[in-house]
Amino acid sequence: MEQITIDISLKDKMLALFEKNKQLLFKNNSKSMIDIKNNAIAKFNEIGFPHTKLEEWRLTNIEPYLKAEYQHHLQTKPIDVDIESIFQCEVPDLDTFVVVLFNGRYIYKHTPLTKLDNGTIIGSFEKALEEYPEIIEKHFNKYAKNDKNGFVALNTAFAQDGIFIYVPQNIIVEQAIQIINIINTTEEVFVQPRNLFIVEKNSSITLVSCDHSLTQTNSFSNAVTEILIDENAQLNHIRVQNKGKNSTLLNTTFVEQKNYAMLTSNVLTLNSGFIRNDLDISLNGEGCEANLYGIYLADKTQFVDNHTFVDHLLPNSNSKELYKGILDDKAKAVFSGKVMVRRDAQKTNAFQANKNILLTDEATINTKPHLEIYADDVKCSHGATVGQLDNEAMFYLRSRGLGEDCARMLLMYAFADEVINKIPIEALRVRLGNMVSKRLRGELSVCDQCVMHCNSKSPTQFNIDLSKL
Amino acid sequence: MENDKNNIIQELTQGDYKYGFVTDIETETSPIGLSEDTVRYISAKKNEPEFMLEFRLKAYRHWLTLTEPTWAHLHHPPIDYQNIIFYAAPKKQQTLNSLDEVDPELLKTFNKLGISLEEQKLFSGVAVDAVVDSISVKTTFKETLSEKGIIFCSYSEAVKEHPDLVKKYMGSVVPYTDNFFAALNSAVFSDGSFCYIPPGVRCPIELSTYFRINAANSGQFERTLIIADEGSYVSYMEGCTAPMRDENQLHAAIVEIIAHDNAEVKYSTVQNWYPGNKNGDGGIYNFVTKRGFCKGHNSKISWTQVETGSAITWKYPSLILKGDNSVGEFYSVAVTNNYQQADTGTKMIHLGKNTKSTVISKGISAGKSNNSYRGLIKVSKNAINSRNYTQCDSLLLGDKCGAHTFPYIETNNKSSIVEHEATTSKISEDQLFYCLQRGIDNESAISLIVNGYAKEVLNKLPMEFAVEAQKLLSISLEGSVG
């Protein structure tokens, strides 16, 4: 087990760690993959960790989070944990195929790599590298941009394990795949999972990613996910983030869409320590569709940062973006949405909206929806609002006999519902709706941080009798 | 019809810049390049008091520590600051007492520009301060204004005659440490307009400054300072033109506005510097720092700008809303054609309670130009019940141009409401079809639609300017539909 304590600079430590463990990191890697990793570490050496002088990180000060003394585990060792003993998903009626990343490593009960009857492969990235090197080699690092920031380059250099999903052509995967990402350790860990999802032509799949931390120790997670959605394929990606206040999560996702590919992404951030979601989408085909939805609820001193980048490279694609946030106490949120329409991307439709409610004077929101457009036959718009609950709506509800708290709850829930009702899986939609309403009532903070772990078997009822309306 | 359109585009985008003539006026210039000696030369040339020289030198020394900003969405070859003449003035032997003594060539220039310096134009109701190259050549209506206690004169005159006011306010809104170009301007600024409205006075006529770059190789660095004392009102306009030259010329100005309690300032600009030819050669680099300071309660400052000229525009007329209930407005039409680049917008910093701001920005890009809106709305913790509404629309004419928006919104309290809306599209085929169907030809239809699109902003201009602006808009754009 390799351990390193951070006292000089994390950057130097990381470089040293890489030098020292090349053998481990390059295990089963082909020549071209080794080149990629060497280039990535060189890139990291060149650009280092991002800092607030960079435009993209102006409002996201990551530096304090790099100071903790994290443990890095590079040694591969099958982890023998009974998944069900530590984690039970209690979303009623949710029929999913569950895979688990535990402290950044893939854990399993029977086999690290499952091949379903229809040819779909789901399992550990590390194992896939052993068994399907040609698929990995074809796609690894083809969509990620190591020059985006130092964290991406670092992740590429240290890519060992993560989730690997491969859907062959013409397959519709009926059952949703649920990816549970748990941090549960008494150590302060620095984990760098690397995920690769390939959806081949005419296929379709739904993924539910859940990020949880079960303990209160400091942890740093630098995850990079690469996704290819090939022609006519479809991916629904739902992310639920419910992290402890001492956890730092950087989630960078690169999506490449080919002709007529469709992506629906929902990001629901319910609790966070420090979360940054980077969603980088290349619409590298005609007639693509990308729908991005997000909601973030933050209180205390939580920090949520959503950066999205939608790059329209070719004609006739549509993108739609809706992010909403409710901020309480001293929470801080950042939203930066960028839509780029390249010269060839005529007939593009791109819409973007970011709406926020601030509940206290201490909460802060920074929003920056921007457009860069080089084609003329396009329709693009963006909007951003920051405000409070509508006084007239409030008055309407109160005049009908609702108490102030009830009325406020109802309005906040309605505000959030616009995003929640976009979730394609009904069981999950209902459950998340309940989670959000509980979250808005502040109940989850008394729970043990983990939503899924919640003891109440029956879904919580919304405490407003709607028949009164 | 496609052909038709293209013809019209060609015709119009190749339309001549009608202010591109050069006047043969004897000028006196500083040695080329920038050094502490240049700064001292300028100060000495203008017989400035000691405090001005100190201010300039401080600014110059600070400038040496800075590097040119690169964050804007603009591209240009590096500017060689040692190859610029920082001071150029029409040569004159003695102080002018009446209009007759003004160089006839100069008078002709202004007549050609359609700006009359002659007193008989009293009834046009505009007081004009004309600035050629670096120097204010003539200010009209001074006497009429002084009756009311209004001071409207050139900056150099103000430095000599009202040093207390200048000392008190110069650099109070845009300090020399503000940015690269502000530091440069503070070091070498030559002249500009100064305006002071005493308490309770409503300025009866529009004040106007007309800027003209004439000398070759020179940069123009002027400075405007407007102070509206308690309860006063003034409407101020500026216009600018330059000859057509192959090399790029630098224009780095500073405008500072201070509004005290209950005062209102309306500032309108029609910026029509030479934009360069259709291949992107020449033209003015317009790197300007403009900022207003709503210092007092219930004060109001409004910026209206029509930006049609300049090879590159880098300009963010901003407002600091410090007084409670103060109001800030920003209306802008920015038109870029050929290889022009514009990175323009505004900053609204809400500090006082119940402060309100409105931002309406209309960008029109044609040819191979790039047009960006960059704005910041910042609501501080104490600015309770503040309100902002921002709308920035972009119109794309042609498939090689770009339109970009970079809005930043930072809100730090719960009682404020900030809204931002932006759209980007080309001229609606439906609207065009509707007009054509009713027998309006293509060119007129486009002109009609573009004018309608910009109307919201043009309406805010004073009468005298609105007409000019509308004409300008059609010259810059008519027919450039893609």
Tens-digit pLDDT profile for residues A351-397: 999 999 888 888 899 999 888 888 888 888 888 888 888 888 889 99
Task: Report the residue from A361, A373, A385 with minimal CB separation from B419.
Answer: A385
Residue A130 belongs to some domain of the structure: yes
Does residue A203 share a domain with residue A335? no
Strand-pairing partners, residue A369, are: A337
Residue A297, in any domain of the structure: no
Query: Residue B204's pLDDT is what?
Result: 83
User: Which residues 366-405 of chain B have a CB within 8 Å of chain A?
Assistant: 379, 381, 384, 394, 396-405
Residue A295 lies in a domain: no
Among residues B257, B251, B356, the alpha carbon closest in space to that of B307 is found at B251
Domain contains A116: yes
Query: Among all residues of chain B, which has the CA nearest to that of A370?
Result: B406
Residues 6+ apart with CB under 8 A from A77: none
Same domain, residue pair A364 and A409: no
Q: What is the pLDDT of residue A168?
A: 94
Task: State pTM to two decimals.
Answer: 0.82
The residues, any chain, with a CB within 8 Å of residue A326's CB and separated by 6 or more, are A296, A297, A298, A356, A357, A359, A412, A415, A416, A440
For B42-54, the pLDDT digits (tens) are 888 888 888 889 9
Is A385 in Cβ contact with B407 (below 8 Å)?
Answer: no
Query: Considering the domain boundaries, does residue A290 fall inside one?
Result: no
Residue A289 included in any domain: no
A465 in contact with B, Cβ within 8 Å: no
Residues A15 and A30 both lie in one domain: yes
Same domain, A350 and A442: no
Chain A residue nearest residue B366, CA to CA: A376
From the list B71, B404, B423, which residue is nearest A372 (CB)? Answer: B404
What ipTM score was computed for the predicted complex, to two decimals? 0.75
Among A299, A338, A344, A386, the residue to mutate for chain B (most B Cβ within 10 A): A386
Residue B30 makes CB contacts below 8 A (sequence gap 6+) with B38, B41, B42, B45, B85, B86, B87, B88
Same domain, A279 and A416: no
pLDDT at B438 over 90: yes
Q: What is the pLDDT of residue A1?
A: 39
- Which pLDDT value is given to residue B156? 85
Note whether A259 and A220 are same-domain residues. Answer: yes
pLDDT(B161) > 60: yes
Residue A133 to chain B, least CA–CA distance (Å):
43
Are A260 and A201 part of one and the same domain?
Answer: yes
Query: What is the count of structural domains for chain A?
Result: 3
Identify whether residues A202 and A59 lie together within a single domain.
Answer: yes
Instruction: Classify residue A448: in a domain, yes or no.
Output: yes
Do A277 and A231 lie in one domain? The reply is: yes
Q: Are A12 and A62 contained in the same domain?
A: yes
User: Are A333 and A402 in a shared domain?
Assistant: no
CA distance B377 to chain A (A): 10
Q: Does A372 touch chain B (CB under 8 A)?
A: yes
Choose among B87, B84, B76, B89: nearest CA to B33. B84
Q: Is the minimum CB–CB distance between B423 and chain A shorter than 8 Å?
A: yes
Q: Determine contact, residues B481/B397, Cβ cutoff 8 Å.
A: yes
Range of the structural domain that residue A74 is part of: 1-284
Per-residue pLDDT reduced to its tens digit, A313-349: 999 999 999 999 988 888 999 999 999 999 889 999 9
Residues A26, A103, single domain; the answer is yes
The structural domains of chain B, with segments of one domain joined by +, span 2-477
Who has greater pLDDT, A429 or A452?
A429
The reply to whether A137 falls in a domain is: yes
User: Nearest CA of chain A to the CA of B428: how many Å?
Assistant: 10
